[in-house]
Amino acid sequence: MKTRSLTEGAMLTTLMVGLTYLSMYSVFVSMLIPVPLILLVVRHGLRTGVLVAVVAAFVSSLVFSSPLMAVNLLITGILGVSLGMGLREKFNFAQLLAAGVIASLVTFGLRIGVYSILFGTNLVSMGLEAMEASVGQWSSIYETFGVPDDMLVELESMTAVLTESVRMLIPLGILLSALLQTYANLFFVRLLAKRIRDIHIDVPWVPPFARWRWPWYAAWGFIVVRVLSLVPVFFPSVEEVWYTVMMNLDLFFIYLFLLQGIAIGWFFFDKYNVAKILRGVMVVLLLTGGGPFTLVVALAGMLDTWFDFRKLHGKYEVTEG
């Protein structure tokens, strides 16, 4: 191994250990632990990246006196190596995002499996049980404040529905978390590449938000899921698994095309110089409000893949490199 790669490997190992320490106080920092490894793999290859990941895991286990920290760092390294190799192989943005999401999902599964073996319990189930326990505590608090019984029953019913919804939407939450982590890592690698001249890494990126446009075939996912969601109307005996899958896919495509619908609005806001504060209010209302209007905007986004309301003529698709 060359002297330069050894020096950079030592520096980035130290940085990974430092990020691991800071991750105990910030979830956001924990998402960025793969960044040093991505840089190293791009510049010096897979072998150097894997070696540094192992060394960083060993050092962190010594520094923090925790073998579990080493295991966690090794698992996290899968994402760094995947994105690093993707950049090294000149993947476009869509390919990088797909590789990162798959790697992030693999790391999540490995963490759940390792922690389940070590602690004898499923962390996801434990988190849901903790949430249900906190809901029960709030019910007791409301009761001590003299809240009427009929209102307590209504509150308990609402919280039960909310808890069940959270349980059913766990797959979508995991997927969104993987997307966010991949995007954040690519964003910071790109930021460092632009700020530090010696890095020389070309990170492909998406077009400006006002010109975001999903491929035309993505609309068929939206349509198929909407049709399949009607199956329980004709077959009431469909199992809960079907409801869970359809709910997750339905919300995924709604919010996917809601983004494109907002991008259409942003395009015309740019065109007519609408104040940015009004745009921000609109985005917040659409992302958090729900309801028929949100579905209409998502439908507009879906139709834009076919009718090209902004006259982009097939350019600026998010899948392009």
How does pLDDT run across 272-311, given as a tens digit for each residue?
898 888 888 888 887 777 778 888 899 999 999 999 999 8
Q: Which amino acid is at 183?
A: Y
Q: Does 81 lie in the same domain as 28? A: yes
The DSSP-derived string for 245-276 is HHHHHHHHHHHHHHHHHHHHHHHHHHHTT--H
Three-state secondary structure call for residue 317 = strand
**pLDDT computed for residue 172 by the predictor:** 92
Q: Please give the model's pTM, rounded to 2 decimal places.
A: 0.84
C-alpha to C-alpha distances, 9 to 13, 21, 69, nearest whole angstrom: 6, 18, 19
Is residue 55 domain-resident? yes
**pLDDT computed for residue 78 by the predictor:** 94
Is residue 149 domain-resident? yes
Cα angle 117, 120, 122; round to 5: 85
**pLDDT computed for residue 293 by the predictor:** 84
What gap in Å lies between CA 274 and CA 266, rounded to an integer?
A: 9
**pLDDT computed for residue 132 by the predictor:** 65
Query: What sign has the CA pseudo-torsion 202, 206, 207, 208?
Result: negative
**pLDDT computed for residue 142 by the predictor:** 64
Is residue 313 domain-resident? no
Q: Does 153 lie in the same domain as 93? A: no
Please count the other Cβ atoms lying within 10 Å of the Cβ belonging to residue 69.
Answer: 21
Q: Does 217 lie in the same domain as 180? A: no
Burial tier of 212 (Cβ tally within 10 Å: 0-12, 13-18, 19+): buried
Is residue 228 domain-resident? yes
Q: Which residues of the chain have pLDDT under 50?
A: none
Tokens of residue 220, six digits: 């068929």
Give 3-state DSSP helix, strand, coil % of the chain, rounded to 5. 80, 0, 20
Q: Which amino acid is at 33?
A: I
Radius of gyration of the chain (CA): 23
**pLDDT computed for residue 104 by the predictor:** 95
What gap in Å lies between CA 294 and CA 307, rounded to an integer?
A: 20
**pLDDT computed for residue 93 by the predictor:** 92
Q: Total structural domains in the chain?
A: 3
**pLDDT computed for residue 284 by the predictor:** 83
**pLDDT computed for residue 3 by the predictor:** 65
Q: Does 190 lie in the same domain as 69? A: yes
What gap in Å lies between CA 184 and CA 32, rounded to an integer?
A: 7
**pLDDT computed for residue 152 by the predictor:** 66
Range of the domain at 303: 209-307
